[in-house]
Structure 1
Amino acid sequence: MREEPVKTKNANRLRDERRNQKDTRNGGEQTVLTEMDGIKNAISDVLEQLLNAEFKKFVWHLWNGVGADIERIPRAALENADRQDVVDRMVQKYTTNAGTVAVQVLLNINQNDLAKQLEVKLQKASSQRKGSALLITNIRFDKSSQRSGAEIDEENMEWLLGALGYSVEKHTNLSGEEINTAVSNFSKRYEHQCSDSTFVVIMSHGQRIQNKDAILGVHYDPNEHPDDIFFVEDIFSHLNSVSCPALIDKPKVILIQACRGDVCAFRDPTNGSFFINYIVDMFSTSAHKYDIMELFRKIASRMQNDPRFSQSKKLLPCIERTTLVKKFYLFPGLMK
């Protein structure tokens, strides 16, 4: 059965909202941070500890020269700049090396303790996430109905995975064979050697075929191209310890947005699927507080109690093959 489009008035593009939105529940503030955000915050925290006279020395070194191999920041760009402005100028100039430059300046002005403190903060920021994600979205089909709104899901998931620190490999409108090839090639990526986890997200039409969950390729037709499918269980075969030893004992999160036989996956033509919207909302506001299984439990609860659906049409995600033996936190990317 194909996905069932549902039009709602309240659904919106959560990706755009979450880019700058802060979670203020429980009196706290939190955003989904990238490595660059972590570097900027680390430098800002240290600069706030400098007295005004020491801060002026810090800025003086930036325009007069930190070291022989470090390019200066023009004086005009730093005059009358406050602490946050200085951090912004450093990041614009040195990008991910801004933290290293800041450490050197602190050493130059004899702030050795703050230099060590900053090094620790930078190490935590750079180690928050190392991993790759595979994102496959089928939108346009030869014979099946078009998945209107799926392009929003693709944008939302690409943003979310990137915000969580994953390097995203994206494919659109693949056949069943091409999906299999993409997953197989992804499992062989060298980057998995130094990763801490991985995501595989596949969004398409789906059916129960041969009593198994199947993802439909873009050429699928029950009469002309009945074999243009990809069985969900093959994902696990590609990512097991034999086919992908680099991911042994590392969390592998697999998200499927597709129908399963008579169970529909609801999708809004304008704002994307409800499942993906809930994931983006929950992950981007609460990933710093809950491990991933708790996040999925909360998503399931929200979907089940969504007032937009009657008892005959309830949203409920299915979680299968859970093998996590430790709690996995997406932010700050640590297992406890």
Structure 2
Amino acid sequence: MQKEHREAIQNNFTSLVERTDLDSVVTALYEKGVFSEPMIEPFRNTSELERDRKRRLYMDIPRRGPQAFGHLVDTLGELGYWDLVRDLDPDSPFSFSSQQRFNSVPQPRPADNDNFRSLSTSNRPRAEPNRNNTQLQPVPPPPAVKNDNADGEVTAPPFIVKKSTKFMVDDDTKDLKLYRTRGPKRGILVDFTYTEFDNNIEEFRNGVDVDCNNLKYLFDELGFRRVGYKNLTKTETTETLKSLNNVLVDYETVFIVVSSHGYERPHSSDTDVRCKDGQLISLYDIMTYFDNRNMPALIGIPKVFIFQMCRGSNADYAWHSTSAHAPAQMPMPAGDVAYDGRPEPPASAAASALHPYQHPLQTPLYSDILIAHSTVPGLVAHRDGKHGSWYIQALCEVFAARAHDCHVEKLFTLVDKHMQDKFKVQTSSVDRWGFNKRLYLHPGLYE
């Protein structure tokens, strides 16, 4: 099977597992000669969970020769999975049919109008077809998201997301109420990732592709829709931020992830983020697009920001002591570890200190915002070239294991604990801007 076809299956692995009917797909692939009769027996072994059998099916298909991908796409089209066909192979003859005949979500998808690049099909219950989609405002199309480090095998993600069995309910005796997260439009993840930079002004950020794949899998399992942007210039970034008004409405929760090289802004709690063209945009500038004046439709909607980047040039390190009450000496994890920043701030970031710092808005109205940073001000954030950034590793593992019974603020506390237990250094931080309710994600549970 060709590399791009393996990547397509990998990038849509969760959607294929969660949304297809096992017996129908196996029968069709058997009739097309992809599998022999003995090969399909394990897929029909009812002593094993159906979900596990489907995972094995989509891990086996890439091993079934160069024609297997085409047969899979044909099968999905014949069974009516038009959106999956579109995401796997936009050039398939079924893709045109999907745009005219079916739409599996009750609102326009960014990828449908080529305004945004969808990371993959999101995992959520099917809805009735909607033939009256409205057009979104055009924005510059970002580069396609691709996995440059994909190998010859389609591998399952390294964690399993535990699903909720009951909804958390408001307790009239408690001061803090709950954000509503019960509907099919549970949430949306918007991902801005910067890995390579013009004129080699920054080092390539190895391992970020692992972060992207893990986040895609995690938020698919949480029932979120996802849109992603990779390696945008500063102008493209700001234009995209302006256009999100049309995309984020009607969702119960919004998560925004920004991953790049970051630099401490002197005499400020702000951080500068490197865009592809080398220009800088500050975190506070990004936050401005989501305040209650610029995005009033999101008043009362929880907005969670995750920033994976350095916030300074100082290295965190393990503390050792001869005291009997001190923790045992633990070495830092070995491996290809890099920083999402540089020991010295770039000239453009340093130059910004010559101008008095001003908050993006003089009279901002911020509410329902929670901001999670991979590190604290002044310190670096670590990234493993093989396994991804330490913070995103910890975040995915904790959210997968505990999102079913913990609210988001507790989850981020557990992320910090898990990161320190696993890596021994690097302390994350969380800020709340009017985030005055509890947010439960209720993965896998819908009213």
Partner of 2:250: 194
Structure 2 counterpart SS, 1:140: coil
Deviation of the 1:219 alpha carbon: 2.6
After TM superposition, give the deviation of residue 99 of structure 1 in Å. 9.1
Q: Deviations over 1:188-245 (max 9, x none)?
A: 12x433110101101000002353311111232xxxxxxx111101222111111111
Residue number in structure 1 paired with 2:293: 242
Structure 2 distance, partners of 1:255, 1:279, is 10
**Does the 8 Å CA contact 2:182/2:442 hold for their aligned counterparts?**
no
Q: Report the equivalent of 2:417.
A: 301
Q: Deviations over 1:126-171 (max 9, x none)?
A: 8244332210111112311111111111111122222222221111
1:156–1:280: 8 Å Cα contact kept in structure 2? yes
- Structure with larger RCO (C-alpha < 8 A, sep 6+): 1
Corresponding residue for 1:114?
none
1:178 positional shift:
2.3
- Conserved in 2, the CA contact under 8 Å of 1:130 and 1:196? yes
Q: Which amino acid aligns with 1:257?
A: Q
Partner-residue secondary structure (3-state), 1:200: strand
Matched, 1:209 2:265: yes
Identity in percent: 24
| Equivalence for 1:281 | 397
Q: Considering only aligned residues, what root-mean-square deviation do their CA atoms show, in Å?
A: 3.8
Q: 1:165 aligns with which of 223, 238, 257?
A: 223
Does residue 326 of the first structure (1) align with residue 384 of the second (2)? no
Map 1:1-336 to 2 at 5 A: 127-142=183-198, 143-186=201-244, 188-189=245-246, 191-210=247-266, 211=268, 212-220=270-278, 228-262=279-313, 263-306=379-422, 308-309=423-424, 314-332=425-443
Task: Give 3-state SS (helix, strand or coil) of 2:416's partner.
Answer: helix
Question: Is the Cα contact below 8 Å between 1:139 and 1:148 reproduced in 2?
Answer: yes
- Secondary structure, aligned partner of 2:431: coil
Could you give the per-residue CA deviations for residues 54-110 of structure 1, whole angstroms, max 9, x where no partner exists?
xxxxxxxxxxxxxxxxxxxxxxxxxx998998xx9xxx957789999xxxxxxxxxx
Tell me the distance in 1 between the aligned counterparts of 2:231 and 2:194: 4
Q: Distance in 2 between matches of 1:126 and 1:326?
A: 15
* TM-score normalized by the length of structure 2: 0.44
Q: What corresponds to 1:110 in structure 2?
A: none
3-state secondary structure, aligned to 2:312: coil
Q: Distance in 2 between matches of 1:233 and 1:321?
A: 14
Bigger helix fraction: 1
Contact 1:199 1:254 in 2 (8 A): yes
TM-score normalized by structure 1?
A: 0.58
Runs of 4+ in 1 over 3 A off after TM superposition: 36-40, 80-85, 92-100
Amino acid of the residue matched to residue 156 of structure 1?
A: N
Q: Cα distance, 1:297 vs. partner?
A: 0.6
